[in-house]
Structure 1
């Protein structure tokens, strides 16, 4: 049997920006992120592509067609494809004023235009446009019903715009985004949006914090007296959460978490991304990825064409070490061997 070649293995470029700048460490350049990705190799296997954050200083969302062509040539020249994109919607909260919500939708539109152009160049065979509510959980909690309705209304408008460009939107499950800060609020939001091109982006680190009820204790899955040594209870909690969210999941990040929250720079505290080799990591990355990549009967879902490593807010010294990216690639390869498939070219 040939080796599994799907899902494709991607690295995220935005960890060079997220949590950097301001009172933190300097931003790591886009070229450095690309070079480290392209140079990673484990037993002859390399990364297949990158997922891009469409925001400064890495990417100018308003770049010309010639600029996009140069970007395509740069990434393609390194033997990489492009997958999912992150829309820079944080200047317009989804439950903000009319003007702010209009800004949100416009940022989604620009991101979808950008994504369509990449597909036309043949470098982006799969992937979504990622969004979030750009709103804080405590602001959402002031009026959960009205604010969920407002977020859903904004997301529906964004979905309608995305559909014009053949794009799907995925809402990021992260405890710092109001209306998607727990697994139940996430499902409520998805159901309220009710658009065929709207789905969920699971991140193994961020969604892991759903189990502990951070920012939403009433939605905690693990018992308050849970001990990390109780792997059976953790497995049951993961089964419960993934069974509820898997039907919505259209984009997936492989990651590690040590059960704590973390934030640097301007980024709010959220599920801490740990290195794939972190001895304090609470996840069995290969095994636990299967809860997202297989259905309740153990069948591989093939719900997305690539998986991506997302590891934000690591020290620059760690991110500038090539060994870091080789270790990450090795973790992704194990996930694909366990839960992937072979597909003829």
Structure 2
């Protein structure tokens, strides 16, 4: 029996889709992701839920209410809750650049609205007691860098409009920091963009694998925290770097992904290069997962922030051979449990 029952432990559905497709391996369908998630077990503890990607072939953003109710019943059948939802805000699937044309930005906000509507149905069906709507800027860093000040203003304006829509549904939006998204590609640009939005329902989605790359200044050398001659064996310097970065981003953090990274970048399919996810037990992993999660889950005084009710595993672009092994998900669950053992709490 686990002493702590919060934060709730979620798997992610999107590794079955992200980086897959015609340019890579076949996608893994949602039913398979749900079955493997529900089957994971470590000493009597399983996943509490799953975070979802509102994108074909998993979930059509234009699903009917009956479709979403059927999804809710499917989740209930697996004894899983839904958590955070990824809004498909990208131009090639109906969205648009957050700093693009008026039509682009209108489409971005439209996709957020549709995501909120799906989230509303899942809440009403009793399967989504917590979670956010995940967004990004839907544009690359090089395009943003052509005019940083003006482009940051445009992204903030689009996010502000999306926040106003989300507020009508009592939803919070979380921007996931990845080096592949313009205006979010470094810890400093991420803070600047969030501050410019000026809405109470905007926050940061921290992913341990992606944010590790912030320390190295990928796509933003001027914002590098670790020195040029840093070596991964220098745990003291790494800890100082994590402390500096999380001090800036933790106050914004409203959603959290447990993950591992080997210090490199990777992309597959149509996904741009970003922080490379590793399995939790990968010997090349640079993070002490449970210990380093504490930089995000505890404040500068070591006190739990309790800023969110669930945490989610994220590990995209693994080979299907790895993802279809049940032991993979058991190992991931074990890492999640250890994070909760060290940084969780108990509620009745």
Query: Would you say same fold, with TM above 0.5?
Result: yes
| Rounded Cα–Cα distance in structure 1 between residues aligned with 2:65 and 2:134 | 22
| Rounded Cα–Cα distance in structure 2 between residues aligned with 1:149 and 1:66 | 39
Contact persistence 1:2–1:342 (CA under 8 A): no
Residue 65 of structure 1: how far off its partner (Å): 1.7
Counterpart for residue 215 of structure 2 = 211
| Rounded Cα–Cα distance in structure 2 between residues aligned with 1:128 and 1:2 | 26
Counterpart for residue 240 of structure 2 = 236
Unmatched runs of 5 consecutive residues or more in structure 2: none
Contact persistence 2:185–2:220 (CA under 8 A): yes
1:183 is the counterpart of 2:174: no
1:340 is the counterpart of 2:332: no
The secondary structure found in structure 1 opposite 2:249 is helix
1:1-345 residue pairs with structure 2 within 5 A? Answer: 3-91=3-91, 92-344=96-348
| Rounded Cα–Cα distance in structure 2 between residues aligned with 1:73 and 1:64 | 14
Contact persistence 1:15–1:311 (CA under 8 A): yes
| Rounded Cα–Cα distance in structure 1 between residues aligned with 2:257 and 2:277 | 11
Residue 2 of structure 1: how far off its partner (Å): 6.8
The secondary structure found in structure 1 opposite 2:315 is coil
| Rounded Cα–Cα distance in structure 2 between residues aligned with 1:22 and 1:62 | 23
| Rounded Cα–Cα distance in structure 1 between residues aligned with 2:2 and 2:224 | 42
| Rounded Cα–Cα distance in structure 2 between residues aligned with 1:287 and 1:299 | 14
| Rounded Cα–Cα distance in structure 1 between residues aligned with 2:335 and 2:153 | 39
| Rounded Cα–Cα distance in structure 2 between residues aligned with 1:14 and 1:188 | 28
Contact persistence 1:129–1:168 (CA under 8 A): yes
| Rounded Cα–Cα distance in structure 2 between residues aligned with 1:97 and 1:59 | 27
Unmatched runs of 5 consecutive residues or more in structure 1: none
How well do the aligned residues superpose, as a CA RMSD in angstroms?
0.8
| Rounded Cα–Cα distance in structure 1 between residues aligned with 2:65 and 2:221 | 47
> How many residues are matched?
344
Residue 64 of structure 1: how far off its partner (Å): 1.6
The secondary structure found in structure 2 opposite 1:212 is coil
The secondary structure found in structure 2 opposite 1:259 is strand
* TM-score, reference length from structure 2: 0.98
The secondary structure found in structure 2 opposite 1:206 is helix
- Find runs of 4+ consecutive structure 1 residues off by over 4 angstroms: none
Residue 22 of structure 1: how far off its partner (Å): 2.0
* TM-score, reference length from structure 1: 0.99
| Rounded Cα–Cα distance in structure 2 between residues aligned with 1:111 and 1:66 | 15
The secondary structure found in structure 1 opposite 2:261 is coil
* CA distances 1:200-251 after superposition (whole Å, capped 9, x unpaired): 0000000110000000000000000001111000000000000100000000
| Rounded Cα–Cα distance in structure 1 between residues aligned with 2:22 and 2:222 | 34
Residue 81 of structure 1: how far off its partner (Å): 0.4
| Rounded Cα–Cα distance in structure 2 between residues aligned with 1:213 and 1:263 | 18
The secondary structure found in structure 2 opposite 1:242 is helix
| Rounded Cα–Cα distance in structure 2 between residues aligned with 1:2 and 1:180 | 37
The secondary structure found in structure 1 opposite 2:263 is coil
